[in-house]
Amino acid sequence: MSNWQKYLAEAFGTFVLAGIGCGVVIGSGGDGLSIAVGFGFAWLVALYTIGRVSGGHLNPVLTLAAFLDRAISAKDALVYVAAQFVGAIGALGVVAWLVGGDATAAAANGYGGLNAFKAFSVEAILTLILTAAFLTLLRSEAHTKYLGMGFTLLALTLFGFGLTTAGMNPARSLAPAIFSGEWSGIWVYFVGPIVGAVAGWVLHRLIVRGDTKFTDDLGEIKESVS
């Protein structure tokens, strides 16, 4: 598999995820069940299309977790992240062109009555669960693993959309902010998922892999970056 195929797959897959998911947010009028199904099934569509090519991360913090778990090289991780942002921004650009830039405000970030710290906590916890599930399923040989990923995102979005819009994905969160101009609290949707992804990786290593030698892990990570 050529590297350019993997990078293009991540861009296209994130285009599908962000475009369909945020499109459902706009078209459904904020119905939580429709939005959860939209994002969950959008990831499924993308996974069954390009998952065998790139792994179907479609999310910078999941790529970070895959790198920490040494499932992907540092170089590939950096290009994956760039491709994911390009895909998400491209998708929202198309949505804004179709329905108008003002309509993309419906898909923008927001955490209602929560304060910033609670919103950060929600994003971190949701991403922790998403990451732990993703890392386990990523290495699975089961033909149903993509269903597990899709339904994990569906369940977490169903719980979290009414609280923080269930971002869990900096690329998906940045894109509607660009086109709607809604930047309030954007740090929550970057820092929360990053913290959650690192914590999810730690939890995965402890529970699933039974690995408690984190100094060895960190040494190998440092060496791979070098």
> Residue 22 above 80 pLDDT?
yes
**Among candidate residues 100, 13, 121, the one with its CA nearest the CA of residue 63:** 13
Separation CA 111–CA 64 (nearest Å):
25
Name residues whose C-beta falls within 8 Å of residue 98's C-beta, 6 or more positions apart in sequence: none
pLDDT of residue 217: 66
Domain region containing 105: 3-225
At 140-164, the pLDDT tens digits run 988 899 999 999 999 999 999 999 9
Average of per-residue pLDDT across 213-220? 67
**Structural domain count of the chain:** 1
Separation CA 13–CA 67 (nearest Å):
19
Average of per-residue pLDDT across 29-34? 91
> Which backbone phi and psi does 2 adopt, to 5 degrees?
-70, 150
DSSP class of 187: T
pLDDT of residue 223: 67
Q: Quick check: 89 and 158 in contact, CB under 8 A?
A: no
DSSP code per residue over 157-178: HHHHHHHH-----HHHHHHHHH
pLDDT of residue 61: 98
Residue 188: enclosing H or E segment and its boundaries? helix 188-207
Separation CA 114–CA 98 (nearest Å):
32
At 105-133, the pLDDT tens digits run 777 788 878 999 999 999 999 999 999 99
> Residue 54 above 70 pLDDT?
yes
pLDDT of residue 222: 65
> Residue 209 above 90 pLDDT?
no
Residue 162's CATH number: 1.20.1080.10
| Lowest-confidence segment of 3-17, 79-93, 166-180, 207-221 by average pLDDT | 207-221
| Lowest-confidence segment of 36-45, 196-205, 209-218 by average pLDDT | 209-218
